[in-house]
Amino acid sequence: MTRVFLFLFLTIAGVLQAKPLSVVVSFSILKDLVQQVGQDKVQVETIVAPDGDSHAYEPTPFDVKRIAQANIVFINGLGFEGWIERLVQASGFKGPLITVSKKIHPRSVFEGRLVEDPHAWHSVQNAIVYVYAIKEALIEADPDNQAFYEKNANAYITRLMALDESIRRSFALLPPEHRKIITAHDAFGYYGNNYGIEFLSPVGTNTESEPCAKDIAGLIDSIKRLKVKTIFMENITNPKLIEQLAHETGAKVGDVIYSDALSEQTGPAPTYEAMIRHNTDLFLKAMQEMGNQC
């Protein structure tokens, strides 16, 4: 009889132990970062899907349910998910709510008032800070697998450091006057600061802000004066404004870049690393074309 109980106990304990942590994240880029560290010990769901716009997202009753059932929730912070507080409150979730940007030095921009730019992940150095925060939170929630999370995080950080260095090297030979890129919204400020590129865009850090005619006229002047040949559409933004800019300046519309969301699995940016490489290749090509023109 005792053997039967022991068998049952070990079976139940085994099942409980094997069950992955239920993790909810706010957007797809964060899903990949958590997945890289947690691998098969986590079951990650994202609220905003690939190719989705987190700025303009409207939560659903399904999101309330998902958060209520989670063991741990990760968000970007810096005002990126303006809807998260109400959503968490509605779900009654009392577990750990981790803001991965907490140790980032935020970039501030003036948009009628001073606002913090939430797009910190586009600097790979900041993504490394995110990974440390994710690792610590997973260990706190699931200390039995500490060594597993540490090993995965260390391997991932090593790859990210190499990626950061390779981006720096690829831009190093370009003269400063060619280091200009036009995108649909101001999502690449951290990328620009880290890798020495100037980004210009018709709208600010939030896709929901309306572009004003004076700013657009100024941007058209800059595109002509700087002889920018390519302007970029983002996977999450409406193409109209970029098409209008291209039409008025004679620049061409470049391939889609990925700003606030990954692509679907079959697209060119299904992971964070793939997204950074894809964007970098397109930026590099556009800047080299500026050089060929002179």
Contacting residues toward Zn ion, per CB under 5 A: 187, 260
Q: Pairing between strand 107-110 and 114-117?
A: antiparallel
> What is the closest distance, in whole angstroms, from the C-beta atom of residue 161 to Zn ion in the complex?
25
> What is the closest distance, in whole angstroms, from the C-beta atom of residue 263 to Zn ion in the complex?
16
Q: Which is nearer to Zn ion, 156 or 199 (CB)?
A: 199
> What is the closest distance, in whole angstroms, from the C-beta atom of residue 191 to Zn ion in the complex?
12
Beta strands in the chain (DSSP E): 21-27, 42-48, 72-75, 97-99, 107-110, 114-117, 180-182, 198-200, 230-231, 252-253
State how far the Cα of 122 lies from the Cα of 278, in Å rounded to an integer.
12
> What is the closest distance, in whole angstroms, from the C-beta atom of residue 119 to Zn ion in the complex?
6
The pair of three-digit structure tokens given for residue 261, joined into one six-digit string: 């969301």
Beta bridge mates, 198: 180
State how far the Cα of 140 lies from the Cα of 125, in Å rounded to an integer.
23
- Closest residue to Zn ion, judged by C-beta, is 260
For 122-134, letters b (16+ CB in 10 Å) and e give bbbebbbbbbebb
Q: Which is nearer to Zn ion, 29 or 223 (CB)?
A: 29
The pair of three-digit structure tokens given for residue 173, joined into one six-digit string: 């030979």
SS3 state at 232? coil
Q: Which is nearer to Zn ion, 41 or 278 (CB)?
A: 278
> What is the closest distance, in whole angstroms, from the C-beta atom of residue 231 to Zn ion in the complex?
17
The pair of three-digit structure tokens given for residue 30, joined into one six-digit string: 């964060």
> What is the closest distance, in whole angstroms, from the C-beta atom of residue 236 to Zn ion in the complex?
7
State how far the Cα of 33 lies from the Cα of 127, in Å rounded to an integer.
8
Q: Which is nearer to Zn ion, 260 or 273 (CB)?
A: 260
Q: Which is nearer to Zn ion, 142 or 260 (CB)?
A: 260
Q: Which is nearer to Zn ion, 38 or 254 (CB)?
A: 254
State how far the Cα of 171 lies from the Cα of 174, in Å rounded to an integer.
6
Q: Which is nearer to Zn ion, 63 or 260 (CB)?
A: 260
> What is the closest distance, in whole angstroms, from the C-beta atom of residue 221 to Zn ion in the complex?
25
For residue 161, count other CB atoms closer than 10 A to its CB.
Answer: 13
For residue 150, count other CB atoms closer than 10 A to its CB.
Answer: 14
- Angle, CA 270 vertex, CA 82 and CA 263 arms, to 5°: 55
